[in-house]
Structures are given as structure tokens and as C-alpha cells.
Amino acid sequence: MSPLVPTAGPPGPPAASQPPFPRGFLWGAATSAYQIEGSPLADGAGASIWHRFAHSPGLVRGGETGDVACDHYRRFAEDVALMSRLGLNAYRFSISWSRVLPTGRGTVNERGLDFYRRLVDTLLAHGIRPLVTLFHWDLPAALDDRGGWLNPDLADWFAGYAETLFRALDDRVGMWTTLNEPWVVADGGYLHGVLAPGHRNLFEAPIASHQMLRAHAAAVAAYRAVGRHAIGLVVNLEPKHPATDRPEDLAAAVRADAYMNRQYLDPVFLGAYPAELREIFGAAWPDFPAAELEQIRQPIDFLGINYYTRGVTRHDPERPPLCAATVRQLRSAYTETGWEVYPRGLADVLLWVKSRYGGLPLYVTENGAAFYDPPTAEAGIDDPLRVGYLRRHLLAAADALAAGVDLRGYFAWSLLDNFEWSLGFDKRFGLVHVDYGTLARTPKASARFYSEVIASSGANLGRRTAAGGAPLEAPQDGLLDAVALQGDG
């Protein structure tokens, strides 16, 4: 097996005296191109839909854009040195499609590709493994002009772009992922219009999802022809718990789970969409060709899971098409983005994926929280809420590992404070503070805490179970149980 691919194998539960995470575990942080790079049109790059969206008045808070962002495009070497000082052995970043192919297809812009060659070489020189995301939402604007994710040709164009990257970098990159969070693109970009490309159309959302899955599969097929290492997909998962035991709330939670979680994983692993999607979308749910579903069901080498929160769900007929609403929990803490802090859910989703889709290697490819930090950092940044969030989620990850999940790595979201999409720079998720006036980077207390987690393989996390009880054995107290039990029957 290639030295670029983690060779730890299924880690198995560590003995009580050992630290909770095994040797060979990947400890990383994650970012995405448009959120940190800046210089979006430099060196011959084409515009992306996020460049266009952010420059359209009124769509991003405060009119903020990714024109400068963290200036990572010019400061990447400084940022890699910072990762090295923090002790990271892995880094997840995304490639801007329109830097490499300014119109999305056709002639390669070598200067754009060179940026990623230099970034990868710098990471490797510091002993940091790259995990490359091919698509983190910044579709080339020229392809949006051709219909974006509604156009069935996009699958082939995406595979062509992916193949360009595989040929350029697979000798140095051991881990690739195709799409980041297709649900967010379809829901935010095509159904509710709050993310690029800003459409609000019930009929478009299922088509966009399906074309993304076809593109994912086409890129995996291209990788099998030219790549030598590992490729996977990244989804964001949330346990959906019914707000009460009333049948309509239980049904709403099942629908929410089908819509957000199973809509993407069932086709990839089981070759079929969940039946609930027809109920949710009604006449807007098309009959997708069986041959396309067969193509979507391509074996992948690992799955990346982004986990932030759960959704306690109630029936709400005023909110079509899902007819469900998330209920605020009086006894829970919430982050600055209004997401409930629910660490146990991380263990639950990891265990659920294993039980429903089988025991493939899993990575937590994003986990983190926005909490208030001041705009400048002269006195350092003490962020105990973020430390607490990370600590409790890492304990939940350790629980899942101890319960037999083949968890191979964890990536904190995010390395740096960055452009939080339509919320602009207001919400700070970084382990490292960015002063947007000077672009100075200041590691927060959470970065120091995470360094200690890495150095001790989690021994500094304290007690071994997030719930304070026995290690978990199966998804508990929630809909994931019900869904797992219902299975495909």
C-alpha cells in the first residue's frame, strides 16, 4: 500500500491504560478555497459562483466578499508553517475549480494549478498529509451560465476537471474527496436561495442533488483509471430526533433524516433514494433512470463526515416541502450560528453509518463551532467555549472508536477564522484568529488545546466517555435507532 495512505488499519479499541486515539491517527484542520484564499481572479483564474454571489448587492452580510479573505493564496507558506507548529499531521483543503480551469473545462491554467502544486509540496515538506476536496461549493461561473448543477453534462465536466488534478497531484496526494456536503448546495443553493447560486425552486433541488451524485460517481470512476490511492465523499450528517412522541413529529423526524442524511448516502451505498423523498418533493421528485443510480453506487475508499449539531424536529405544515421545524432545546448550549451543542450526536452518526452502510474507514472531516471572539487579538484569544466544544466532541469520537467504528482521523473546522459564506466574516470558527485589518494570525487557546490533544493522542481529554457512562455500543436514544432498525424494509 502507498505510504501516502494511512496504514493504521482498523484501530480497534485501545487498552484502558492507552490514550484513546491510536498511532497513525490523522489529526488535521480543514478549510475551503473561497473561504480563505482571497485573490479569486489572480493569475488567470476564472470567476466562481461565489465570487459572483458575493459581489451581488444584498446577498452576503455587510456586502463582504472573498476578495481578500485570509489572503492564504499569498500567505500559504506561513499558514503551513503554523500548522506544523500546532503539530497537525494532516490538512484538508479544497481546490478552486475555476483557478485550474477558468471556464470549468478546456484549457488548463497552469498558474492556477501551480498554486496547488506549491501548497502540496510545502505540506509534504512539513510532514503534513494533504486531503484534497475537489468541490467545496465554488462552481466555475461559466458552468453556472450553462445551467450549473441542473445540467446533466456537468458530471462529465467534473470528471474531466478531477482527472486533471489526479494526473497533476496523485503522485503526492494520498486522499481525495469529490464533493463537500451536497445537501447544503442543493438545500441552500437551489431550494432556499441563501447560498450560491441563489435559486429558490422546488423542482431544481432534487435535480441538482442527482447531478452532483452523478458527478461524484464519474470522478470516482476517473480515479479508478488514473489514481493509485484513496477517494471518498464528504457529507454533513445530523441525527434527527422527534421533538415529542406524537406520530406526526416522529414522521417529521424520519422525513428530515431522509432529506438531509439518507438522500446522499443511500444512493452511494445502497443504490436507491429513500422513499420519503417522493413524499417530501411530491410532483417535483423525478423518476431518475435506474442505470444512473447503478452508476452512482460506486465503491468508495472512505467516507468523510462533517458533524456540527443535531436537529430536534417537529411537524410544521407551514414549512414546505419538508413540513418540519427544528425545536430549540431550553437546557442546551448553542453556538453563534444558532446550532445546538450536542456532542453525543457525533458518536451516534459514526455508529449509525457503520451499522447502515458497513464498516468502511471514516474520517471526521469537519467539526467545530463559531463562538464570539473579538476582532483584534493583542491580548491573545481565550476561547473556553470552543475548547469545551472540541473536548466533548473528541471524547464522543473516542467513544465511537472504542465501540468499534473504523475512525481514522479528525479535522477541526477550521484552521483559520474565515469567510462564512452568506454570513460574511462575522462568525469565527478558527483555531487561529485572523485580524481582518492586518491579516495577522494568532493561535487561540483552542489551538493550544488541540496541539496538546495531538501530542498526547487524546490522553489530555480526561474521562473516556462523553456521556460519562459506559462506552457506547450502538446509536442510542434517537431516531438513528429507529432508522437503523427500519433499515431498508
Stretch that binds ligand BGC, among 113-121, 178-186, 240-248, 296-304 (CB under 6 A): 178-186
Establish if 79 lies at the interface with ligand BGC (CB under 6 A): no
For the bound state, the minimum distance from the C-beta of residue 335 to ligand BGC, rounded and expressed in Å, comes to 10
366 is catalytic: yes
Q: Which of 37, 163, 366, 420 is catalytic?
A: 366
Using the minimum distance from each CB to ligand BGC, give the nearer residue, 285 or 307. 307
The full DSSP string for 344-399 is: HHHHHHHHHHHHHH----EEEEE--------S--TT----HHHHHHHHHHHHHHHH
For the bound state, the minimum distance from the C-beta of residue 412 to ligand BGC, rounded and expressed in Å, comes to 11
Establish if 178 lies at the interface with ligand BGC (CB under 6 A): no
Stretch that binds ligand BGC, among 140-148, 179-187, 353-361, 470-478 (CB under 6 A): 179-187
For the bound state, the minimum distance from the C-beta of residue 418 to ligand BGC, rounded and expressed in Å, comes to 7
- Tell me which residue of 342, 392, 386 sits closest to 368, measured CA to CA: 386
Identify whether the C-beta of residue 139 lies closer than 8 Å to the C-beta of residue 183: no
For the bound state, the minimum distance from the C-beta of residue 364 to ligand BGC, rounded and expressed in Å, comes to 12
Q: How far is CA 248 from CA 146, 252, 315, in A?
A: 41, 6, 6
φ, ψ of residue 204 to 5 degrees: the values are: -80, -35
Q: Strand 324-326 to strand 311-315: parallel, antiparallel, or no bridges (unpaired)?
A: antiparallel
For the bound state, the minimum distance from the C-beta of residue 429 to ligand BGC, rounded and expressed in Å, comes to 6
Among 5, 68, 184, 270, binds ligand BGC (CB under 6 A): 184
Three cell numbers at 307?
458533524
Residue 331 to residue 341: CA distance in whole angstroms: 10
At which residue does the C-alpha cell 469537519 appear?
366
Using the minimum distance from each CB to ligand BGC, give the nearer residue, 288 or 339. 339
For the bound state, the minimum distance from the C-beta of residue 413 to ligand BGC, rounded and expressed in Å, comes to 6
At which residue does the C-alpha cell 420519503 appear?
276
Q: How many CB atoms lie within 10 A of CB 255?
A: 22
Residue 424 to residue 421: CA distance in whole angstroms: 6
Residue 30 to residue 40: CA distance in whole angstroms: 19
Among 180, 309, 355, 446, binds ligand BGC (CB under 6 A): 180
181 is catalytic: yes
For the bound state, the minimum distance from the C-beta of residue 102 to ligand BGC, rounded and expressed in Å, comes to 23
Using the minimum distance from each CB to ligand BGC, give the nearer residue, 424 or 471. 424
Q: Which amino acid is at 262?
A: R
Establish if 366 lies at the interface with ligand BGC (CB under 6 A): yes
Identify whether the C-beta of residue 187 lies closer than 8 Å to the C-beta of residue 228: no
Using the minimum distance from each CB to ligand BGC, give the nearer residue, 288 or 421. 421
Q: Which of 64, 181, 238, 420 is catalytic?
A: 181
Identify whether the C-beta of residue 406 lies closer than 8 Å to the C-beta of residue 475: no
Among 6, 29, 32, 227, binds ligand BGC (CB under 6 A): 32
Stretch that binds ligand BGC, among 14-22, 177-185, 318-326, 451-459 (CB under 6 A): 177-185
Using the minimum distance from each CB to ligand BGC, give the nearer residue, 211 or 306. 306
Binders of ligand BGC in range 290-329 (CB under 6 A) = 306
Peptide bond into 19 cis (omega under 30): no
Using the minimum distance from each CB to ligand BGC, give the nearer residue, 144 or 420. 420
- Tell me which residue of 93, 79, 84, 77 sits closest to 31, measured CA to CA: 93
Q: What angle do CA 45, 70, 346 make, to 5 degrees?
A: 105
**Is 253 strand, coil or helix?**
helix
For the bound state, the minimum distance from the C-beta of residue 209 to ligand BGC, rounded and expressed in Å, comes to 16
Identify whether the C-beta of residue 255 lies closer than 8 Å to the C-beta of residue 232: no
Establish if 187 lies at the interface with ligand BGC (CB under 6 A): no
Residue 140 to residue 197: CA distance in whole angstroms: 11
Q: What angle do CA 156, 159, 163 make, to 5 degrees?
A: 140
3-state helix, strand, coil in the chain (%, to 5): 40, 15, 45
For the bound state, the minimum distance from the C-beta of residue 233 to ligand BGC, rounded and expressed in Å, comes to 13
Using the minimum distance from each CB to ligand BGC, give the nearer residue, 181 or 406. 181
Binders of ligand BGC in range 390-429 (CB under 6 A) = 413, 420, 429
Establish if 181 lies at the interface with ligand BGC (CB under 6 A): yes
In which element (H, E) is residue 214 found? helix 204-226
Binders of ligand BGC in range 234-263 (CB under 6 A) = 236
Chain residues binding ligand BGC by CB under 6 A are 32, 35, 180-181, 184, 236, 306, 366, 413, 420, 429
Active site residues: 181, 366
